Amino acid sequence: MYRTLADLGADVIKIEAIQYPDWWRGVDRRPAYVEEQMYEMKPEFCVMNRNKRGITLDLTRPQGLSLAKRLLAGADIAVSNYSVDVLPKLGLGYDVLRTLNPRLVVMSMSAFGTNSLYRNCRAYGSTLEQGSGLPSVIGNPGDPPVMSHIAFGDAVGGLNGCAAVLVALIRPHHRTRTVH
């Protein structure tokens, strides 16, 4: 979603926690890799994060939270792919964001949504693949379910999320109400 918005010309600022780096950076922690900042140059990371700006913030510290709030006060869109309770626990729940910036379009892309039975489950694309039932239709009839090992949920969810926030931006009356 973020990459698509950036590709379309949006000024995307990705907030990343140093404690939980983007997994596209890899997990190489050898001194030379870190000292040379090779994690910024990994081809997969650069492709997935093209056209975006990035900042590292610790949202559990007052300084990080304050800077995030300053960024959000001037933003058009805020997108979160955390599980549903993370931002409220950090002091960035919808009620706070709405007060900071009443025009802000907020998109929560938690794996199983805010109202489902599985709302508290954290997931990646492969988890969503299992939850969707896709493995039951891949492979040969009569054989056990087969994983595709392609995180379809990430790409499809991102494109649908992008479309949703673009509609919300071009239809201003959507900004005055929310659906939970």
Domain ranges of the chain: 1-53, 57-180
pLDDT band at 8 (very low <50, low <70, confident <90, very high): very high
Going from the C-alpha of 172 to that of each of 4, 18, 28, 76, 77, the distances in angstroms are: 21, 35, 45, 11, 13
- State the burial class of residue 14 (Cβ atoms within 10 Å of its Cβ: 0-12, 13-18, 19+): middle
Mean pLDDT across the chain: 87
Q: What is the pTM of this model?
A: 0.81
Which of 22, 58, 76, 154 is the catalytic position? 154
DSSP H or E segment with residue 17 = none
What are the tens digits of pLDDT across the range 84-128? Answer: 889 999 999 999 999 999 999 999 988 888 888 888 888 877 788
pLDDT attached to residue 174: 57
Q: Is 154 a catalytic residue?
A: yes
Per DSSP, the three-state class of 16 is strand
Q: Is residue 155's pLDDT more than 60?
A: yes
| Distance in angstroms (rounded) separating the CA atoms of residues 110 and 149 | 20
Domain 57-180: which topology? Rossmann fold (3.40.50)
